[in-house]
A and B are shown apart, each in its own frame.
Chain A
Amino acid sequence: MKSTLSLFAILMMALLPLQAADLTARQIMERVDDRDDGDNGISDMVMTLIDKKGNKRARKIRSYIKDKGEDKQRIMFFMAPADVKDTGFLTYDYDDYSKDDDQWLYLPALGKSKRIASSDKSGSFMGSDFNYSDMTSRNLDAYDFRILDEKEVRGAKTWVIEAIPKTEEEIDETGYSKSVLFVRQDNYMVVRAVLWVNEGGRIKYMDSPKIELIDGIWFATKQTMTTKKNRRTVHKTELNFYNIKFNQPLDQAMFSLRRLEKGL
């Protein structure tokens, strides 16, 4: 649980806005990393995949998250479409970057759960434009950060921070050779990001057009990721979150293989 610390941070920032301006890029990113993003949360997510012709395809997913120490656990079940209903994913995202994340999946049609071994986070998350590294936190030590500019995004002041990976390994793992993040100065949320994909000349644009304060936690209830190539959209994903609740009584059994196989 980081909430007390983060609440304190928000308080500090409200009281001392001038100090914030003097932060280094690295310090800002640390605050982004330390921001309270909720614990014991439940949410429903509609993932809409939009191809370049505008064809849409929706998936509905219920997910549960829990912090276990510094690690993050997540279990997700597909609710729609019917063909993949009850397909489940269980992930343990370890704070220790040297350790590969664990991932299991359960295919109801197969009646079996499988552990997925992959050290690569650059692959697509559920066929969307988001990849796994977008869904997990980054290892700050693997980057050089630099403040490029300050810009307003939808009326809120942001720092525009460039992040360059220090190692080829980090590039391979995240799939990005460079990123530029728009960090809101009032709540340390990354509300926009431009991500340069390592291969194929693609650039991805993450945007959080809707941010809400839920149970005291800033949450992007709408997020988009648009993949572009030569300034043209190749594909786009829209995530809309509903029924978000934090601090729910979720016990450890919720994040187990047994639960994964049992379904919702």
Chain B
Amino acid sequence: MQSDKSLLLEVDHPQAAECRKAIAPFAELERSPEHIHTYRLTPLGLWNARAAGHDAEQVVDTLLAYSRYPVPHALLVDVAETMARYGRLRLEKHPTHGLVLASSDRPVLEEVLRAKKIAGMLGSRLDDDTVAVHPSERGNLKQALLKLGWPAEDYAGYVDGEAHAIDLAEDGWTLRDYQRDAAESFWHGGSGVVVLPCGAGKTLVGAAAMAHARATTLILVTNTVSARQWKDELVRRTSLTPDEIGEYSGTVKEIRPVTIATYQVITTKRKGVYPHLELFDARDWGLIVYDEVHLLPAPIFRMTADLQARRRIGLTATLVREDGREGDVFSLIGPKRYDAPWKDIEAQGWIAPADCIEVRVSLPDASRMTYATAEPEERYRLAACTPEKVGVVRDLVTRHSGQPTLVIGQYLEQLEELATALDAPVITGQTPVKERQRLFDAFRSGEIGLLVVSKVANFSIDLPTAEVAIQVSGSFGSRQEEAQRLGRLLRPGDPGPDGERKIAHFYTIVARDTVDAEFAQNRQRFLAEQGYAYRIVDAGDELAGR
């Protein structure tokens, strides 16, 4: 236990698994590289533990029991004090006033009533210990109280929504243990975020949550292609029929008991208003599913604040937001309810092991000079798009011929150039949806063995057959993009004829001694912290067939 409130867990210790289980309710897993995993105690984590029924004594006992060294007294006191702040304020249902904020500790209530940010959210004072709350401010109030350090315990419960029978159709397949655990801990917590690696079957966790709720459901996804995938998966894995599932997107506007909408259509603004906001009120939704919650656009945060009475589940592989709004995700959608280290799921065989390799190319002298004199904002593009990479990609593709391969990049010219050089089809944002669908289908069926794709393929595109990905450029240093791209490969394929499991190959090609390499290091950090060690090779060695 460190003085910055991080906990270090020795993975190879015989008690490691036991300890991990004991600390998981209150500590957040921050990094999980190969030897020592780092957890952190945060007020939010401790409050969530309180919400889940753990008390400070249990937490302190656990820390003392598993700590290898004496635990500083001040930290233990701090844990107890932090946890004691939870639940001094309660949000309750009131027979006449609807929603009220009640307190058992009058000074605390007085303190928060005096906070400027809170004032507008509260109604009249009912008595010394109770204040009316505008029901629409439930989410904002909770968020504001959390920031003040006096989180309210929400007893107001959830509306059930319009009942609708949904069952999992477990014919020939069953929910995996971790999927069942994730859905259950979500359901017991009421609302929250489930973090699972790409390819670990988050859609099924969503389906399981729907089967718990047995109510009409609104599913928000990133794009149309992934909306179709959700629909197919739901039809295959649940009792739902295609007629019960509606798609609400730019082209189709169906509202059915289960409706899948894209973020884009909801956040479309016309004349200063969001015309599709009505979707949230179109039915009495019992559950709202947010897919890829790390991409949730800002307007949806505001809309979500009004939906606090409905159950919400967020799904993601990487709760790393480049805009730093992780806190908003937690307070509006709900705390992290389930998280598993990628390597654990890999060890269970549910995601494919991956071999991550960084291939370094040297810029030729002429390019180095161009690079050195370029404007700073041009440098990344110059370095990332160096023609040297084309040759390396070609060699890698040849080496892995026969294995379905994706070439992923950021810049269209570069992708076009690669597509020409490799004689492969290319998919970018400009490719029509139908064409995209066709190419993805062909790739899945094995008709096409090589696709060049832009960032449209970063998320939610299920390409289970992909075994090799070659990344030539990306969105600067985006860690979550790197993780998502690796995620494309992690869907475990069927074991080969010799019973051997597939090993994914993830290549990143970077130009040596440029910002490209710096960004690559930043991008790789998340994966390194998840235990994916990168190997670095020189393009020369790699080409020589090493």
Partners in one complex: no
Binding site for A on B (CB under 8 A): none
